[in-house]
A and B are shown apart, each in its own frame.
Chain A
Amino acid sequence: MPAFETAIVVGASSGIGEALVKKLAAEGTKVAAIARRESELRALAQSCGDRVFPFVHDVRNFSEAPVLFDRICAELGSVDLLVYNAGVMPRVEESEYNFEKNRQMVEINLLGAMAWMDPAAAYMEARRAGTLCGISSVAGDRGRRGNPGYHASKAGLTTYLESLRNRLTHRGVRVVTVKPGPVKTAMTDGLKMPLMISAEECADGVLSFAKSSTTEGYVPAAWGPIMFAIRSIPSVLFRRTSI
């Protein structure tokens, strides 16, 4: 018996999302896999047998999300788990201020999450059951100098998920925030970062949180004390560091 009978993974065609779809399907979950790239999505569905249902969708097409959510509910019969994994982190140079990149990050990392989580939250609140899981980032914990738009989009996602959790916990819905550190994906290609893990390892961590009673945590766990220390640095000192 799988932990979740049915699930939606948004941002499923590669990296963490792809790994999540494969692991959920292997456990016996019926998974609606959502992504923009059709060919990757089809290949993923084919590799997972008959448990994965591909839906082509660009998360920036916000008005399509609730309609697609309703369609998936009807086709799968229910939705027990929604994982919002879509995210981008375009390279931003030092002293670069690029609104289009910022807009892209806010639209995909944050607004897309809202467009999917809102109908899912209403659906799960009415059922008094379900799990919403957002893949945020350690980058959302502080406004670091490297990529302001990315940090802001992930901080927004973390806060949005916290608000949903405060609203929904006593109504039987679990809202889980997972904050991975660097993960080896196309998004981090060429970047050298500490504690880098594979997409499969990250997906294991995400599913572990989605199934446990813990509603917020870091993947890998070592980021917990590190980010606690970083969050504790006074702002006046933090701006003098190179973090």
Chain B
Amino acid sequence: MTLQQELGRRVFDGFGFSSRSASLFARPQSGEELAAILRRAGEEGLTVGLRGSGRSYGDAAMNGGNVVLDVTGMRKILSWDPQSGIAEVEPGVTIEQLWRSTLADGWWPAVVPGTMFPTLAGCAAMNVHGKNHFKVGGTGDQILDAELVLPTGERKRISREENSELFHAAIAGFGMLGAFSRIRLKLKKVEGGRLKVRQIPARSLDEQFDLIDEHTPNSDYFVTWVDCIKGGSSLGRGQVHQAVYTHGDEDPEGKSLMDPSRQDLPGHILGVPKSMVGIILKLFRFNTGMALLNLGKYLASELTPRSWYKQGHVAFAFLLDYVPNFRSAYEPEGFIQYQPFVPKEHAREVFKKILRLQQARGLPSYLGVMKRHRADNFLLSHAVDGYSFAMDFAVTKANRAELWRLCHDMSEIVLEAGGRFYPAKDAVLRPQDFQRAWGQERISRFRALRRQVDPQRVLRTEWAARVGVDEAG
């Protein structure tokens, strides 16, 4: 039987629900099975899109009409050394599995995104970053070496020393250069189960930048919330969240939180039970409603003491997991997250411009988050020495075309400033944006590697096809 006859079918959404397609579906249980599916797909003229937990917001883990290869069937932690903090994992191991297995030994994943559910392979393929990107880099910077299964079925060990070019391209390579079948990475030693955290309100975007620049050198984590609806002199107001590790006996109570079972997500958000938050979001999901929620959140931040307090790693790190299935608040049309990365010299002006533009168009983001970043050595990484601004936009039947136009216009501003975008979030990039964001030289090197490892172009995702990762023809 062919794969088309043998495999079942599944309908996949992007995490933001804004894209959807039906695919043949495979979930291999081993590297051998994974290699066999890639090889057979090539022989049968099918393409394969790699997928982890499906947390990419757009179409980066989708491959409609062809095979989606889900790596979550391979989820064993192969080895863990509590002395060195080095773990070797299968590709489907999640961030959650990792911290639950290592925290009691005093180690925490050095890079975690705002949710604990992505797989390590997904994090590697997208070079996922966290709130400490400015300090430690992205997922790729924590990876020591990995095994990559090429579309031919060949397995290659990649590291900074061995097949170095492939290593630096496969990380942040959106799953287009092979499938990770094994990843070895180094975790971060922590001395307590809690962080010291504080929140400071920011009255404007300038103040947000000032606070970031003032405090990131002394922070382990830093992230800011931005009210994208308020304009005028309060444009870009919000609240910054700063966190540092505890050391020695600084937090005796926090020692008990080294027990993973004691690391909880809070049951309430701003006093509202989390089971109600999704309903409230749905009820307020219009411009005036969100302006009211933002006002409430901002006033609460003004009233919140600016003093330090202690918060567990899980509660601080995984904000997106506070409200289970929060994305359903945006059903049925879903939402997109647009996240440009802009060099530090231009970020203030660029972010002000795009905030004003979306407000002028009547399509403001309902949630804005800013972070500080540093550059890295991965060929098509999104990272720049600068700042990112993640913005959630609700999609409706009525606003879809106008929203995409807005994003393209914002991209023009970002690209003029030398910015890039985050493929894990993207739903709107066009081929010309992809070309300008990463530049011809980098893209040509990536395509040359593609021709070497995947001459038949077996690996494909809807995102890669949309932005034109491969040259035409």
Contacts and interface: CB of A to CB of B under 8 A. Distances in A.
A63 B22 contact: no
B9 A66 contact: yes
Nearest to B7: A66
A66 B5 contact: yes
A112 to B, nearest CB: 15
A20 B64 CA distance: 31
Contacts of A55: none
A125 B4 contact: no
A233 B320 CA distance: 54
B22 A125 contact: yes
Contacts of A70: 4, 65
Given A63-B6, A118-B8, A118-B9, A123 B22 contact: yes
A71 B78 CA distance: 43
B11 A122 contact: yes
A64 B6 CA distance: 10
B44 to A, nearest CB: 11
B1 interface: yes
A221 interface: no
A125 B11 contact: yes
| Interface SS of A by simple majority | helix
A70 B44 CA distance: 15
Nearest to B8: A118
B257 to A, nearest CB: 41
A126 B22 contact: yes
B13 to A, nearest CB: 9
Contacts of B65: 70
A66 to B, nearest CB: 6
A28 interface: no
A122 B10 contact: yes
Interface string A115-131: 00011001101101000
Contacts of B5: 63-64, 66-67
B9 A63 contact: no
A41 to B, nearest CB: 22
B76 interface: no
Contact of A119 (B6, B9, B20, B64): B9
A63 B11 contact: no
A128 B11 CA distance: 11
Interface string A63-101: 110110010000000000000000000000000000000
Contacts of A123: 22
Contacts of A119: 9
B395 to A, nearest CB: 14
B21 interface: yes
Interface residues of A, number: 12
Contacts of A64: 5
B2 interface: yes
Contact of B2 (A67, A122, A128): A67
Contacts of A128: 20
Interface in B1-56: 1-2, 4-6, 8-11, 20-22
B4 A126 contact: no
A66 B65 CA distance: 11
A134 B204 CA distance: 61
Contacts of B9: 66, 118-119, 122
A58 to B, nearest CB: 14
A126 B11 contact: yes
Interface string B392-427: 000000000000000000000000000000000000
Contacts of A122: 9-11, 22
A123 B20 CA distance: 10
A126 B9 CA distance: 11
A63 B1 contact: yes
A188 to B, nearest CB: 34
Contacts of A126: 11, 20-22, 64
Interface string B430-473: 00000000000000000000000000000000000000000000
Nearest to A126: B22
A118 B20 CA distance: 17
A114 to B, nearest CB: 11
B20 A67 contact: no
A42 to B, nearest CB: 26
Contacts of B64: 126
A24 B1 CA distance: 34
A126 B64 CA distance: 9
B222 to A, nearest CB: 40
A16 B154 CA distance: 53
Contacts of B1: 63
A116 to B, nearest CB: 12
B383 to A, nearest CB: 33
Nearest to B5: A63
Nearest to A70: B4
B120 to A, nearest CB: 28
Interface string A53-64: 000000000011
Residue from A66, A67, A126 with most neighbouring chain B CB atoms (10 Å):
A126
Nearest to A125: B11
A56 B4 CA distance: 19
Nearest to A65: B5
A10 B22 CA distance: 22
A61 to B, nearest CB: 10
A66 B2 CA distance: 11
A125 B23 CA distance: 11
A172 to B, nearest CB: 9
A171 to B, nearest CB: 8
A20 B4 CA distance: 29
Contacts of A63: 1, 5-6
Nearest to A171: B11
12 contacts: A63-B5, A66-B5, A70-B65, A118-B9, A119-B9, A122-B10, A122-B11, A125-B22, A126-B11, A126-B20, A126-B22, A128-B20
Closest 4 CB pairs of A and B: A63-B5, A122-B9, A122-B22, A126-B22
Interface of A: 63-64, 66-67, 70, 118-119, 122-123, 125-126, 128
Interface of B: 1-2, 4-6, 8-11, 20-22, 64-65
Given A66-B9, A70-B4, 17 more contacts: A63-B1, A63-B6, A64-B5, A66-B5, A67-B2, A118-B8, A119-B9, A122-B9, A122-B10, A122-B11, A123-B22, A125-B22, A126-B11, A126-B21, A126-B22, A126-B64, A128-B20
